[in-house]
């Protein structure tokens, strides 16, 4: 019998960087891109954990390496991408998943430190990585960037103003960069996830349940019931959308903000008066 022709994976030979890849959505995105054929660099503040996750992927026969990176540190980001350009010769895909949630607080009680902390990582970190990788992609005249926004970026939820503003900024940055890099054949899109039960949301649910005086289980159930498709998302749901936007199937898509949320557009509930 003749050998079956080898099917090539959609991202074969591509060099991909995923920030925030030690856990949660970034971890799932890294696995998906590697399964689709990319050589993936998992970059995160948590170097040890990232190393363990990269090793798990290598044990599955995938191409994965770990790097320690603070996306909010400009010098570190520039150095990271310059070294990558030298060692790997190119950067084909950047997924910005590193981000931090906000302590659940009304604006009138929100400290400037907390505002700055959230903006520095979630918005400025995304900008710094886009700037460094974008310069490389512009030079090579190809590439794809996918930023993790949020449904909160378009429909702000109460008590997380800094996070909402950061994600609105990520959406604006994505659309700006999409037009600036279009002439170079570089595509820039964002995925806006709805609720997925990662560490990020565990902490959010706990704080929100305390602020409403209900149990954590009840809070989780309220969110589930508010999702039109009737369930929380899985990290793989988000990873599939990111992989699509990186793939040749999306070669005519740029500046798109793709909501992946089971139909949820946002949370509009007004909190009760604070005690």
Ligand X SMILES: NC(=O)c1ccc[n+]([C@@H]2O[C@H](COP(=O)([O-])OP(=O)(O)OC[C@H]3O[C@@H](n4cnc5c(N)ncnc54)[C@H](O)[C@@H]3O)[C@@H](O)[C@H]2O)c1
Residues 6 or more apart whose Cβ sits within 8 Å of residue 187: 143, 144, 145, 178, 181, 245, 250, 251, 253, 254
Stretch that binds ligand X, among 8-16, 175-183, 193-201, 205-213 (CB under 6 A): 193-201
Cα 178 to Cα 137, 143, 166, 206, 256: the distances in Å are: 12, 11, 18, 37, 9
**Segment (H or E) for 96:** strand 93-96
Stretch that binds ligand X, among 19-27, 103-111, 132-140, 211-219 (CB under 6 A): 19-27
Cβ proximity to ligand X, 12 vs 79, nearer residue: 79
- 199 forms part of the interface with ligand X (CB under 6 A): yes
- 220 forms part of the interface with ligand X (CB under 6 A): no
Cβ proximity to ligand X, 13 vs 147, nearer residue: 147
> Is 65 in contact with 34 (CB distance < 8 Å)?
no
Residue among 18, 196, 243, 250 that touches ligand X (CB under 6 A): 196
Q: Measured between alpha carbons, how far is 240 from 37 in angstroms, rounded to an integer?
A: 14
Classify burial at 222, counting beta carbons within 10 Å of its beta carbon; exposed 0-12, middle 13-18, buried 19 or more: middle
- 267 forms part of the interface with ligand X (CB under 6 A): no
Q: Measured between alpha carbons, how far is 14 from 82 in angstroms, rounded to an integer?
A: 17
> Is 193 in contact with 151 (CB distance < 8 Å)?
yes
- 195 forms part of the interface with ligand X (CB under 6 A): yes
Cβ proximity to ligand X, 23 vs 132, nearer residue: 23
Q: What is the dihedral of CA 77, 80, 82, 87, to 10 degrees?
A: -160
Give, as ranges, the residues between 130 and 149 that touch ligand X (CB under 6 A): 148
- 236 forms part of the interface with ligand X (CB under 6 A): no
- 44 forms part of the interface with ligand X (CB under 6 A): yes
The minimum distance between CB 92 and ligand X, in angstroms, equals 20
- 180 forms part of the interface with ligand X (CB under 6 A): no
| Dihedral pair phi/psi, residue 107, rounded to 5° | -55, -40
Q: Among this protein's residues, is 197 annotated catalytic?
A: no
Stretch that binds ligand X, among 84-92, 93-101, 108-116, 247-255 (CB under 6 A): 93-101
The catalytic residues are 163
Residues at the interface with ligand X (CB under 6 A)? 19-20, 22-26, 44-46, 69-72, 97-100, 121, 125, 148, 150, 193, 195-196, 198-201
């Amino acid at each position: 019998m003749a050998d079956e022709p080898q099917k090539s994976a959609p991202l074969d030979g591509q060099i991909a960087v995923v920030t925030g890849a030690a856990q949660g959505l970034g971890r799932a995105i890294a696995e998906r891109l590697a399964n689709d054929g990319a050589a993936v660099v998992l970059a995160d503040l948590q170097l040890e954990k990232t190393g363990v996750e990269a090793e798990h992927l290598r044990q599955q026969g995938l191409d994965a390496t770990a790097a320690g990176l603070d996306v909010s540190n400009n010098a570190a980001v520039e150095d990271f991408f310059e070294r990558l350009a030298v060692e790997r010769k190119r950067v084909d895909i950047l997924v910005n998943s590193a981000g931090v949630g906000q302590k659940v607080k009304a604006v009138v009680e929100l400290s400037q430190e907390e505002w700055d902390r959230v903006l520095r990582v979630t918005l400025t970190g995304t900008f710094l990585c886009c700037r460094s990788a974008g310069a490389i992609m512009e030079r090579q005249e190809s590439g794809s960037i996918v930023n993790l926004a949020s449904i909160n970026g378009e429909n702000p939820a109460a008590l997380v103003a800094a996070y909402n503003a950061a994600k609105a900024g990520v959406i604006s940055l994505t659309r700006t960069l999409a037009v600036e890099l279009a002439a170079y054949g570089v595509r820039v899109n964002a995925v806006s996830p709805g609720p997925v039960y990662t560490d990020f949301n565990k902490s959010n649910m706990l704080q929100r349940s305390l602020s409403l005086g209900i149990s954590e289980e009840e809070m989780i159930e309220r969110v589930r019931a508010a999702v039109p498709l009737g369930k929380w998302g899985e990290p793989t749901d988000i990873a599939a959308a990111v992989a699509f936007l990186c793939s040749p199937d999306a070669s005519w898509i740029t500046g798109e903000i793709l909501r992946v949320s089971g139909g949820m557009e946002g949370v509009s509930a007004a909190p009760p008066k604070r005690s």
